[in-house]
Each structure stands twice: as structure tokens, then as C-alpha cells.
């Protein structure tokens, strides 16, 4: 596939091979572009920004609705593409495609809700005889840089609000998973979005990300990825708006009074869905002492039955990781934890890019699988006596995206809600739960800003204040 700059398909002198994550075979290539191409893309977006800004909200909504409808119509082929390039199991890929369409529809509806507020200026003595209001206007150019793990949902959460708010876009999908996202991004021009205003560049994030974020014509950078990459981008971006989701190390607390029949399957899904390559992955599970053994045994029994294999098969529940290198890193982290005294309850083995669903206990807090983001199918189990102790351990992380607690006690639930330092606290749900209109984002090293309809639209617009002096009508 080709990149798109200024409405034209673009090749590069070099290419990046996109591999089938199960077979390892090449399925396509995309151009490996350069900083000069970034400049061309931003120039095109800057030239055409006024065309999007001048479109009516009705027209922007109509375009997003058309793209969403086309995504739904191409469910089958987009799902197969996603399975091939990501290793995502087919049922998860189909959900991802449907989710992307629904996210675009959500932003289509919110394109009609961009408004403002009337202000009573006479609340100040200097405001007597004056009135004012503000409304929201597009920022201009939005740079959108996405990750590999949910390539379509992430794309929709970036292109959706950017276009709904009336901005032009330079979009860089992840090099591991560019194909389905490129296909959908290309639908915008076909639906009536100004062709020059939707630029899609491909290549190395290390090469393209910094010049894209640093360009002064870019007014918003929306990025999903790792902390290190996000930190580098924020340093070069300068004074502009940043929306950054930078990962997490999500804890889940299981109290003695929890409904284990509900908690165990919920947490197994949160631990091993898409091979744990998810910022909401249940990486740490803290279980109260009196139910620890029962929870552990039930979790091990159920998780041991997960079926690995070809992600195209409807019966497969665990597919390959994004690369063999990623699986080797997880293998090293698990080996380190074992050397530090950790015990493997299930899994722990790698075969190529496959890593078995793994559950560990007795893992020290300073082992990487405990304190960093593993981004793989590894979960650490530990026990606690008092809820206050569990909350303290849960908070012992530099990240703060989402946390879950399972309990029947309203008092315990509210204690967790008050004290867990995370962007979202879920009660009787795992850390992996998300509905797309939620104000999604974290604290600490998990990022800046929030996704979700109203929040993203506000970030991708500026306030224009208007003041009238009715004493001097002119």
C-alpha cells in the first residue's frame, strides 16, 4: 500500500515489509518515508485547513457517517487484514472493526454539539454595559500518531474528533499494523473530506515522529505509545496541545466478599485478550488472603484451557505476539522474575512469537513484570490482608491509567474510588473495561489529556471569546 500526501498516493525510496504475524510471511509493504515527506504532508494539511474549517458541522457529520457505513460494509476484509497484520484473533478483529465504525459515528454526532457559552460580564464592575460569549474554532493541523495494538480504534479516536472539529490531519499509523488503518483513513477523501486535508504517512516512528511533533504548523499532537517515545515527542513539540496515552501497569483488587464466578473470567479476559498487548491489561491482581487459594486455583484451571493457534480460526483464543522480539523480551522478564524468587503457576514458555498465557506469584515488587508495563500475556498474583494495604500496593506504580476492584461492599468500593490514583476506577469490572464515550486517560506516566467525545473535541479546538460593548453600538 502507499502513503497519501496532498491527495496523491506516494511511494518511498525504501519500504517496510508488513508481515503476517502467524506465518511470518510478507503480506504487503508500505513506504518508509523521510522528514522531507513529513514537511510535504504538514504543508498540504496547513494549506487545506481552511477548507475543513469552512465546512458546516452538518457536512462533517455526514462525512464521518459515510466512512463509518463503509467500514461496516467492509467488515469481513478489514477483519482478515487486521488478523494478518496484528495477530489479533478473528473475533477480536471483528469487534475492533465494529468498534472503529461506532467511534466514528460517535464523533459524527458530536460534530453537531460544538458550542460555547454566554457570559454575564456585568458580574464585574468593569463589565457593565457589555456582554460576551465564546465559541469553539478548529485548531488547524492535528498530528495523529498511533500504536499497533488497537490500530483501528486508536485511529478512529484520533481522526474522528480531529475531522469532526474541523481540522486537517497528518496521520502516522504504526509500522507493524498500517494496512487496515490506511484503508479506512483513505475512505475520508472518498466520503468528501478535502483530499489534501487527510495526509497519511508511513515509516519509522523514530524518524517521522519528532519532525512531525516539532513542526510549528501542527497545533495538536495526539499520540498513543510508550512512555519513552512520548517523552521524546513532548520535548520537541514545544508550546502546543498534547494528547498522550502512554501505557500503564493496571492493578485489580479482589476482596474476600467478591463474586468470584464473575471476577475470575473477567480477569482472565483482561489478562490474556490480544496476548496482553493492551494498556488496560490486568498485569497485577491483588487477592484478599481468605479467598486467595480459591481464586488462584479457579483462575489457573480456567486459564489453562485457553486455546492457542492460528488467529484466523474461530476457536483460537490466544494468537502470536506482534513480533518474535516482543515475545523474547517478555521471556526475559519472566526469567528475571523467576530468578528473583517468582513462581510460575501456568505458562512461561515461548515458541517463536507465541508466548503462553502466564500467571505468577511470589514475584518481588521490583521485578519488571511487577513494576513496569509488560505488554504481554503475563499477570502477577499477590495476596493482601487489609484493603488499605492493597490500595497502597496498587498505587506503587509510576503509571495511573485504570484500576479495578471486585467487592460487594459499598464502603470498600468508595474507599478504593477515593484512594486509587488512576484515571479510571472500575467497581466489579476489570481494568480492561472501556466504553468509548468515557473520558479515557490517565495520571502520572500514563499520559496527558483525555480521549472520548467531548474531551477530544475540546482539545482539538480553541476558544474564541467575543465581547460587545452595547454602550457604543457604532
**What residues are annotated to the active site?**
245, 279
Quick check: 413 and 427 in contact, CB under 8 A?
A: yes
Long-range contacts of 386-394 (CB under 8 A, 24+ apart): 387/253, 387/255, 387/288, 387/412, 387/415, 387/416, 388/415, 390/253, 390/286, 390/288, 391/253, 391/415, 391/416, 391/419, 391/420, 393/251, 393/286, 393/365, 394/251, 394/253, 394/284, 394/286, 394/420
E strand or H helix at 351: strand 350-351
Measured CA to CA, the distance from residue 100 to residue 68 in angstroms comes to: 8
Give the N- to C-terminal CA distance of the chain in Å, as an integer. 59
Contact 218, 42 (CB under 8 A): yes
Q: Is 127 exposed, middle or buried (0-12, 13-18, 19+ CB in 10 A)?
A: middle
Query: Rounded to whole angstroms, how far apart are CA atoms 89 and 236?
Result: 37
C-alpha to C-alpha distance for 154 and 172, rounded to whole angstroms: 11
| DSSP code of residue 435 | -
DSSP 348: -
Q: If 0-12 CB within 10 Å is exposed, 13-18 middle and 19+ buried, where does residue 300 land?
A: middle
User: How far apart are the C-alpha atoms of 274 and 92, rounded to whole Å?
Assistant: 8
CA 354, CA 209: separation in Å to the nearest integer?
29
Give how far Cα 264 sits from Cα of 249, 267, 297, 329, 382, Å.
19, 5, 10, 27, 15
Considering only CA atoms, which of 292, 274, 281, 277 is closest in space to residue 381? 292
Q: What share of the chain is helix, strand, coil (3-state, %, to 5)?
A: 45, 25, 30
Amino acid at each position: 500500500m502507499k502513503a497519501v500526501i496532498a491527495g496523491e498516493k506516494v511511494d518511498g525510496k525504501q519500504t517496510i515489509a508488513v508481515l503476517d504475524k502467524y506465518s511470518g510471511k510478507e503480506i504487503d509493504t508500505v513506504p518508509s518515508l523521510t522528514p522531507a515527506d513529513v514537511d510535504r504532508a504538514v504543508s498540504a494539511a496547513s494549506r487545506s485547513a481552511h477548507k475543513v474549517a469552512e465546512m458546516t458541522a452538518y457536512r462533517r457529520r455526514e462525512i464521518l457517517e459515510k466512512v463509518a457505513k463503509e467500514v461496516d460494509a467492509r467488515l469481513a476484509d478489514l477483519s482478515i487484514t487486521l488478523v494478518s497484520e496484528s495477530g489479533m484473533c478473528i473475533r477480536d478483529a471483528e469487534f475492533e472493526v465494529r468498534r472503529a465504525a461506532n467511534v466514528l459515528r460517535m464523533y459524527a454526532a458530536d460534530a453537531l454539539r460544538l458550542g460555547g457559552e454566554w457570559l454575564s460580564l456585568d458580574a464585574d464592575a468593569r463589565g457593565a454595559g457589555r456582554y460576551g460569549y465564546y465559541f469553539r474554532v478548529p485548531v488547524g493541523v492535528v498530528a495523529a500518531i498511533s500504536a499497533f495494538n488497537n490500530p483501528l480504534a486508536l485511529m478512529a479516536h484520533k481522526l474522528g474528533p480531529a475531522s469532526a472539529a474541523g481540522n486537517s490531519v497528518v496521520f502516522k499509523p504504526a509500522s507493524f499494523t498500517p494496512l487496515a488503518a490506511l484503508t479506512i483513513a483513505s475512505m475520508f477523501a472518498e466520503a468528501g473530506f478535502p483530499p489534501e486535508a487527510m495526509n497519511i504517512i508511513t515509516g519509522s516512528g523514530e524518524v517521522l515522529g519528532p519532525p512531525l511533533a516539532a513542526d510549528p504548523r501542527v497545533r495538536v499532537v495526539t499520540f498513543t505509545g510508550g512512555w519513552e517515545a512520548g517523552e521524546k515527542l513532548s520535548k520537541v513539540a514545544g508550546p502546543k496541545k498534547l494528547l498522550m496515552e502512554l501505557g500503564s501497569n493496571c492493578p485489580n483488587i479482589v476482596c474476600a466478599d467478591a463474586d468470584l464466578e464473575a471476577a475470575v473470567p473477567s480477569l482472565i479476559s483482561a489478562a490474556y485478550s490480544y496476548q496482553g498487548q493492551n494498556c488496560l491489561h490486568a498485569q497485577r491482581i491483588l487477592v484478599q488472603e481468605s479467598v486467595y487459594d480459591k481464586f488462584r486455583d479457579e483462575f489457573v484451571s480456567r486459564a489453562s484451557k485457553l486455546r492457542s493457534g492460528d488467529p484466523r480460526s474461530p476457536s483460537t483464543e490466544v494468537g502470536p505476539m506482534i513480533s518474535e522480539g516482543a515475545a523474547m523480551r517478555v521471556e526475559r522478564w519472566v526469567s528475571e522474575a523467576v530468578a528473583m524468587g517468582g513462581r510460575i503457576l501456568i505458562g512461561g514458555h515461548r515458541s517463536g512469537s507465541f508466548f503462553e498465557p502466564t500467571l505468577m506469584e511470589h514475584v518481588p515488587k521490583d521485578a519488571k513484570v511487577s513494576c513496569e508495563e509488560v505488554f504481554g500475556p503475563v499477570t502477577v498474583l499477590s495476596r493482601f490482608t487489609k484493603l488499605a494495604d492493597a490500595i497502597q500496593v496498587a498505587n506503587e506504580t509510576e503509571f495511573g491509567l485504570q484500576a479495578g476492584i471486585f467487592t460487594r461492599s459499598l464502603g470498600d468500593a468508595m474507599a478504593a474510588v477515593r484512594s486509587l490514583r488512576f484515571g479510571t476506577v472500575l467497581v466489579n469490572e476489570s481494568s480492561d473495561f472501556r466504553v468509548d464515550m468515557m473520558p479515557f486517560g490517565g495520571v502520572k506516566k500514563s499520559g496527558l489529556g483525555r480521549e472520548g467525545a467531548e474531551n477530544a473535541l475540546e482539545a482539538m479546538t480553541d476558544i474564541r471569546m467575543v465581547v460587545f460593548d452595547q454602550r457604543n453600538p457604532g
